Structure 1
Amino acid sequence: MTTALPQPVTEYLAAHETRDADRALPHFTPDATVADDGHTYHGPAEIRAWLEGAASEYTYTSTLIATERIDGEHYVATHHLEGDFPGGRVDLHFRFTLDDGLISRLVIEP
């Protein structure tokens, strides 16, 4: 199902799944931003802290249920999550913007 997604996105998603910031960070531009759960994280240090902290706050399973290529720079990966977070179930859209083959912006939202 990830055939519609470019390599930096699929590699980031694999690193995110295992909560491996060292594997995830090389796929971002130096000035990248991540927006998740009402907060925006700028640059490698804040993104690392998010990956190691907020993104790891709950225990959950994640299943990739859809991918979409919007254009050459914009992609969406939709994941179904179930776990011990408020509500217990949600479909999250990971909206990626690429710049020169790296992720410059990631927005995660229902």
Structure 2
Amino acid sequence: MKLPAPVQAFFDADKDPHGAPPVDAFAPDAIVRDEAKTHAGRAAIETWFRQAKEENQHSSEPLELSEDGGFTIVRAEVTGQFPSSPAMLTFKFKLDEDQIKELEITV
């Protein structure tokens, strides 16, 4: 499966439990929506990524890729230290000039 470069960078970083957050893959004014919370800007996204890794010790394996209305949608199996592990989650990316402008993660 060939993911767009910033989406691939996100999932590559997510595979490493101690890796650096993929902040360069995000636009400076990007927004992430996850678990009913919104994280705006690279600093907030970096904090969100680090906290999620620390709390859940998770990794994601992309399994399906589709496009819908300008969004890149990836279904991935997420495995980690949380009650419903492993879980199939949907990662909905809005890309802008080779950066992630928006990311929404849902069940």
TM-score range, shorter chain: 0.7 to 0.9
Matched, 1:81 2:78: yes
The 1:44/1:61 distance shift into structure 2, 3 A limit, reads closer
Alignment of 1:27-106 (within 5 A): 27-70=25-68, 73-106=70-103
Give the paired residue count: 105
The 1:13/1:60 distance shift into structure 2, 3 A limit, reads closer
Where does structure 1 lack aligned partners over 5 or more consecutive residues?
none
Distance in structure 1 (CA, Å) of the matches to 2:67 and 2:12? 18
Scaled by the length of structure 1, the TM-score of the pair is 0.83
After TM superposition, the structure 1 stretch with the greater mean CA deviation from structure 2, 91-100 or 76-85, is 76-85
Residue 41 of structure 1: SS of its match in structure 2? strand
After TM superposition, the structure 1 stretch with the greater mean CA deviation from structure 2, 44-53 or 82-91, is 82-91
Matched, 1:10 2:8: yes
Q: CA deviation at 1:30?
A: 0.7
Where does structure 2 lack aligned partners over 5 or more consecutive residues?
none
Partner AA of 2:96 in structure 1: D
Distance in structure 1 (CA, Å) of the matches to 2:84 and 2:10? 26
Deviations for 1:36-64, whole angstroms, at most 9, x for unmatched residues? 11111000111010111124311345322
RMSD, matched Cα:
1.7
Identity %: 30
Residue 56 of structure 2: SS of its match in structure 1? coil
Distance in structure 2 (CA, Å) of the matches to 1:98 and 1:76? 11
Distance in structure 1 (CA, Å) of the matches to 2:59 and 2:11? 14
Deviations for 1:5-43, whole angstroms, at most 9, x for unmatched residues? 21111112111222421xx11111111000111111000
Residue 47 of structure 1: SS of its match in structure 2? helix
